[in-house]
Amino acid sequence: MATETAKDSAQVQIDLLQYSSGEANCVFKGEHSLYISLASRPVHYSHTQDGKTHTSLYQRGEMLITPADTPLFARWEGKENCLQIRLNDEFMRNVARETVVGDCDRITLKPEFQARNPQLESIGTMLFNEFQQGSLSNRLYVDSLSNILAVNLLRQHATTRPHLPTYEGGLPPRQLRQILDYIDAHLDQEIKLADLAQLLDMSQFHFSRLFKQSLGISPYQYLLQQRVERAKQLLKTTDRFITDIALTCGFNSHSHLSKQFRQLTGMTPKAYRSS
């Protein structure tokens, strides 16, 4: 049996749980829990939470949602293989305050058995993959995924269905230039979604949506493009080592630069320099 912790942060922690048949009691103070089955074969579970017991075969992608401070009992027969995602309650409340119209303090998650949400499954998998890599240069991507995960949970699995405001038209030109100038000046540093949103005094969720409306791509995709463009410039105008160029452009290694460079240009940095 094994537990692999991919990331531990103030917002989100993800663990890969792989255990043989057994049972467990747990309660997470101040953390909402989401369990997503990754098992190739259905696993028989018996869950008890919020005074209710549910017994069934869980297939890949089916999930259990446990609100913060809710005792949970679980028994399983067969090899367990699932993602456990824990979201800090204060983080969830901050997301709610930033994105929900009305009294967000009354919004909380519902205890749910065997729920289906393909978007949550996809976001959870992408988060786990990013956390495993441990790349600081992907912080903007991780922040964006964490916010989308929280908004999806609030929208689809809360006790009351919140109203999310609609923003159209993108960012005003002056604000967009301010963000683009900031990114350009900090390409070699860790850029957080909160940093960008704070520049314009708006929520991270709304900033991401307005930015994409303006440029047609997410803040993270734009950041990657600019880092690769900076690398292309340095490859052509200097004879610095590629590893040095990678770090200067905000990538954490030669291989990380090569992977993103190839995805955007179709060639390696070395081939581009020689062309």
Q: What is the pLDDT of residues 159-179, one digit of tens each?
A: 876 555 555 678 888 999 999
pLDDT tens track of the chain, all 275 residues? 455 555 545 688 899 999 999 999 999 999 999 999 998 888 999 999 999 999 999 999 999 999 999 999 999 998 999 999 999 998 888 888 777 655 556 678 899 999 999 889 988 888 888 877 765 557 788 888 888 898 889 888 888 765 555 556 788 889 999 999 999 999 988 888 888 989 998 888 888 888 988 888 888 889 989 999 999 999 999 999 999 999 899 888 898 889 888 988 889 999 999 88
The predicted pLDDT at position 1 comes to 44
**Strand ranges (DSSP E) for the chain?**
2-8, 12-19, 22-26, 31-37, 43-49, 52-58, 63-66, 72-77, 80-88, 112-115
Q: Which of 124, 157, 190 is the last residue of a domain?
A: 157
**Of the residues 132, 157, 182, which one is the last residue of a structural domain?**
157
The overall longest dimension of the chain from CA atoms, in Å, is 67
CATH number at residue 235: 1.10.10.60
CA distances from 16 to 2, 127, 144, 215 (A): 8, 12, 21, 36
Residue with tokens 């075969």: 57
In a domain, 65, yes or no: yes
Number of domains in the chain: 2
In this predicted structure, what is the pLDDT of residue 8?
44
Statement to judge: residues 11 and 146 lie in one domain:
yes
Which residue spans within 80-186 are E strands per DSSP?
80-88, 112-115
Residue for token pair 């800090």: 88
Same domain, 13 and 143: yes
Domain assignment of residue 6, yes or no: yes
Identify whether 16 is part of a domain: yes
pLDDT of res. 86: 94
| Residue 56's CATH number | 2.60.120.10
Instruction: State both tokens at 109.
Output: 């998650």
Pair (119, 20) in one structural domain: yes
In a shared domain, residues 30 and 123: yes
Pair 116, 238 in one domain: no
Separation of alpha carbons 255 and 180, rounded Å = 26
pLDDT on residue 192: 86
Which residue, of 127, 157, 187, is where some domain finishes?
157
Domain of residue 245: give its range: 226-274
